[in-house]
Amino acid sequence: MTPNPEVTPITEELAQHYHRVLELLGEDPTREGLLKTPMRVAKAMQVLTRGYDEDAHAVLLGALFKEDYNHMVIVKDIDFFSLCEHHMLPFYGKVHVAYIPNGYITGLSKIARVVDIFSHRLQVQERMTMQIRQCIDETLHPLGVMVVVEAKHMCMQMRGVEKQNSITTTSEFSGAFNQAKTRQEFMNLISH
């Protein structure tokens, strides 16, 4: 469930700016259909960027368990939505994460929460991929981590080159995933 932020002074100020944006675009912010739009957009932007206020390391540490399991743990097909920092348009897709525990595991839902935290910021796909991998590496100290992100970018679909079916794939890996055989095993397990 997506939180509905309370109206704060920051929300009010954002709404004032969106009111002005509507005017600059040639719209009449006082017409019926747009009366509540500045506040709706302000609240939406606070939800879409809520990741700045969350600590991904703390999320992982909140469900850390000692376990002598040292094989690949994969959480795949984690849906995400983010905003491109260049145009503030959405990009969205799937994240696949694998790690090889080194004495500790974390709750599986916590991997998805880490994805949510980093995706709910103004982002570029490459940095988001790296941040997810780094967070898991730094918090769990596993034998290796690999992250693959597949995304469609509205900034490529709605404007610019207007290519509807292009998918961008990024990957980051460390530790045991530096071995081609281990990377290939992961890629085989996440292939559709």
Q: Where are the beta strands (DSSP E) in 51-131?
A: 64-66, 73-84, 90-100, 104-106, 122-123
Q: Where are the beta strands (DSSP E) in 101-134?
A: 104-106, 122-123
Single out the catalytic residue among 54, 57, 87, 185.
87
Cα–Cα distances (Å) from 140 to 13, 50, 135, in that order, read 40, 24, 8
Q: Is 155 a catalytic residue?
A: yes
Single out the catalytic residue among 46, 84, 135, 172.
84
- Pairing mode of beta strands 122-123, 73-84: parallel
Single out the catalytic residue among 13, 23, 67, 85.
85
Asked if residue 161 lies in contact with residue 117, where contact means CB atoms within 8 angstroms, the answer is: no
For residue 67 the two structure tokens come to 């376990």
Single out the catalytic residue among 57, 155, 157, 185.
155
Q: Is 85 a catalytic residue?
A: yes
Q: Is 135 a catalytic residue?
A: no
Q: Is 126 a catalytic residue?
A: no
Rounded distance, CA 173 to CA 148, Å? 9
Single out the catalytic residue among 19, 96, 120, 125.
125
Cβ partners under 8 Å of residue 97, min gap 6? 74, 75, 76, 78, 111, 115, 132, 136, 145, 146, 147
Single out the catalytic residue among 19, 123, 153, 172.
153
Single out the catalytic residue among 17, 67, 86, 179.
86
| Residues with catalytic function | 84-87, 125, 153, 155
